[in-house]
């Protein structure tokens, strides 16, 4: 699942997306293997996965345990917020493997979700909660798993939530201004993920994700969409990139 060449243009990113869609479709329709308690999140062992699936996606160098608080909150208070019976699935597929790019991580997430949904036919709604880089993985996976009728992985699209996700990259919006001469170092430190985050190349993936209907239309299908950002103090993903705004409303810095 390599990245397009710098001079390939948007069409190669979209071609890659379509390839990932085919792979996810195969996972959704493959013969199901018998499920076991180990297939279920620890909070649901001993019961069947049904109702509203909430997929949690960790960030750079993260683990599936990073969003444990969110998991506990959804399980304890989800019904009070109108979610009905919730099944929480903390993605594990990108643990220890977050430097090979947004497309690669998002594709892995889409296959993981497709296989889980296929094994648990009692699910009817899907929501995503992505933290930091996990929010970008979730956006890519939603595009892979979407269908023209607005469903995602064959399920009704519920909520799409990101927390401190670098939606518009880090080339301008990070702890300090990074001269363009230093941008190539992003690959040396973070691999293809660094290339994506610093918008390297002629048609950076994050630019395509922010402008192409292939990525925007699936988001419109979710009933609720929220992007949460820290107003200040986030050295890695400042407000502008996480909230799609140059400055907070009312700050006098534009928006």
Question: At 19, is the pLDDT very low, low, confident or very high (cuts 50, 70, 90)?
Answer: very high
pLDDT for position 8: 42
pLDDT for position 36: 46
In terms of pLDDT, which residue wins out, 213 or 81? 213
Q: Rounded to an integer, what distance in angstroms lies between the CA atom of residue 229 and that of residue 245?
A: 10
Q: What is the pLDDT of residues 208-221, one digit of tens each?
A: 999 999 999 999 99
pLDDT for position 119: 92
Is residue 43 predicted with pLDDT exceeding 50? no
pLDDT for position 39: 52
Q: What is the pLDDT of residues 106-123, one digit of tens each?
A: 999 999 999 999 999 999
pTM of the prediction?
Answer: 0.84
Question: At 46, is the pLDDT very low, low, confident or very high (cuts 50, 70, 90)?
Answer: very low
Is residue 1 predicted with pLDDT exceeding 50? no
pLDDT for position 9: 47
Is residue 204 predicted with pLDDT exceeding 50? yes
pLDDT for position 237: 86
Ranges assigned E (strand) in 63-186: 86-90, 122-131, 156-163
In terms of pLDDT, which residue wins out, 174 or 95? 95
CATH superfamily of 48-243: Alpha/Beta hydrolase fold, catalytic domain (3.40.50.1820)
Poorest-pLDDT segment among 74-88, 141-155, 175-189: 175-189
pLDDT for position 47: 44
Task: Name residue, tokens 């899907």.
Answer: 126
Poorest-pLDDT segment among 11-20, 47-56, 66-75, 186-195: 186-195
Q: What is the pLDDT of residues 176-192, one digit of tens each?
A: 445 554 555 554 466 89
Instruction: Give the mean model confidence (pLDDT) for residues 45-73.
Output: 84
Encode 99-128: b = buried (16+ Cβ within 10 Å), e = exposed: bbbbbbbbbbbbbbbbbbbbbbeebebbbb
pLDDT for position 48: 59
Encode 1-27: b = buried (16+ Cβ within 10 Å), e = exposed: eebbeeeeebeebbebbeebbebbbeb
């Amino acid at each position: 699942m390599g990245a397009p060449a710098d001079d390939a243009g948007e069409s190669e990113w979209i071609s890659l997306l379509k390839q990932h869609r085919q792979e996810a479709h195969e996972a959704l329709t493959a013969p199901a293997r018998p499920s076991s308690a180990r297939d279920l999140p620890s909070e649901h062992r001993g019961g069947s996965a049904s109702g509203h699936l909430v997929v949690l996606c960790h960030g750079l160098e993260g683990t599936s345990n990073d969003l444990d608080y969110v998991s506990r909150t959804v399980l304890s208070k989800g019904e009070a917020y109108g979610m009905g019976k919730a099944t929480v699935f903390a993605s594990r597929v990108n643990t220890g493997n977050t430097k090979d790019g947004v497309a690669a991580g998002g594709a892995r997430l889409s296959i993981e979700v497709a296989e889980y949904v296929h094994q648990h036919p009692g699910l009817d709604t899907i929501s995503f909660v992505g933290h930091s880089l996990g929010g970008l993985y979730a956006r890519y996976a939603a595009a892979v798993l979407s269908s023209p009728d607005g469903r995602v992985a064959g399920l009704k699209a519920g909520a799409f939530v990101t927390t401190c996700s670098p939606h518009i990259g880090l080339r301008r919006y990070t702890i300090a201004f990074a001269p363009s001469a230093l941008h190539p170092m992003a690959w040396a430190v973070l691999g293809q993920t660094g290339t994506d985050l610093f918008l390297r190349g002629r048609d950076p993936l994050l630019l395509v994700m922010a402008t192409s209907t292939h990525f925007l239309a699936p988001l419109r299908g979710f009933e609720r969409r929220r992007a949460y950002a820290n107003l200040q103090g986030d050295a890695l993903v400042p407000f502008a990139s996480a909230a799609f705004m140059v400055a907070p409303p009312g700050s006098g810095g534009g928006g």
